Copies of this chain bind each other. A is one copy, B any other.
């Protein structure tokens, strides 16, 4: 169930449905057999069934056989909810993604899952669709489910809402972006260094007018990459015309407008730095169409974050390692769950420049 924001509970969809349909007071989940039923059928005590089901010692082989037989006949399956209530640990961790459909997060999520699995833990994940409010709903719903730990890829920039949860013992690690207004573990890519290297690469190939199209600057990663861009320009003693800098939403329309703006006019940019994979994809499309039209000199492009088939297309990128990001975050989480009490750590994972052609195009004659 998804819970609304701040107060610990207000009626929800689910509420209204269940209230309506509840007539009898005993739920019984369709018609699930319980340990008691199994015990009755096998002619043994309740605890004996528990022992068998959990593989505890101290049960005669013959008794065990009878119990297993009853389990199979009835189709019994232990209710982990009840179990958790008694034991206190859920052996479950939650992952709040930003967008399930983005391959970058898919790889990250998969790495987290592998680590969780190696620790005998179930992973629950959901995505915030880049909406801060949904991020909060989701994270708190997971806390209400009493996950042992949480990995969050922030959509919002204020995570104080997690303070009570963390104080109550929910281990929490942030990935890809740091927490907002909260001191917590974080595992990040080196956005600043990567962008700086990418832009420096363009400069090294002779470019002086370089455009930057990235995400909204309230997103930490976007801000870092922009900072890297400015640093590289400054390193080279190049001025930055603010018309070359276009932070904002990364939907195709906005990106298209931004890029076309930079390529128009008397002094167009000769190279582009794309702030994330969505921008890169749109830019590739745009530049390909432009070349097909034979419209102006070729424009160089370096993108932050790899894109599928980027090698075939010859797109030069700053590649992140989403799997390493996920793996590292998960490992840190389990370190916390195993009791590590060190101060919050921030781990930064390096990036790699992959030169494939688009970043090595020299400036056109108009430069």
Contact = CB atoms under 8 A, between A and B. Distances in A.
Interface of A: 1-2, 7-15, 17-18, 22, 27-32, 52-55, 68, 71-72, 75-82, 84-92, 99-103, 105-107, 109-110, 113, 117, 119-127, 140-141, 143-146, 163-165, 167-170, 281, 284-285, 288, 307-309, 311-313
A164 B30 CA distance: 12
A29 B169 contact: yes
Given A12-B120, A120-B12, A120-B17, A168 B31 contact: yes
Nearest to A67: B8
Contacts of A123: 126
Nearest to A83: B144
Copies in the complex: 2
Contacts of A91: 1, 14, 18
B168 A30 contact: yes
A22 B89 CA distance: 10
B146 A81 contact: yes
Given A8-B53, A102-B106, A307-B308, 18 more contacts: A1-B122, A8-B72, A8-B77, A9-B53, A14-B120, A15-B54, A30-B170, A31-B168, A77-B165, A77-B168, A79-B144, A99-B110, A106-B106, A113-B126, A122-B126, A281-B309, A288-B312, A307-B309
Nearest to A12: B120
B308 A103 contact: yes
A308 B141 CA distance: 33
A71 B7 contact: yes
Contacts of A68: 7-8
A107 B143 CA distance: 26
Contact of A88 (B29, B103, B145, B281): B29
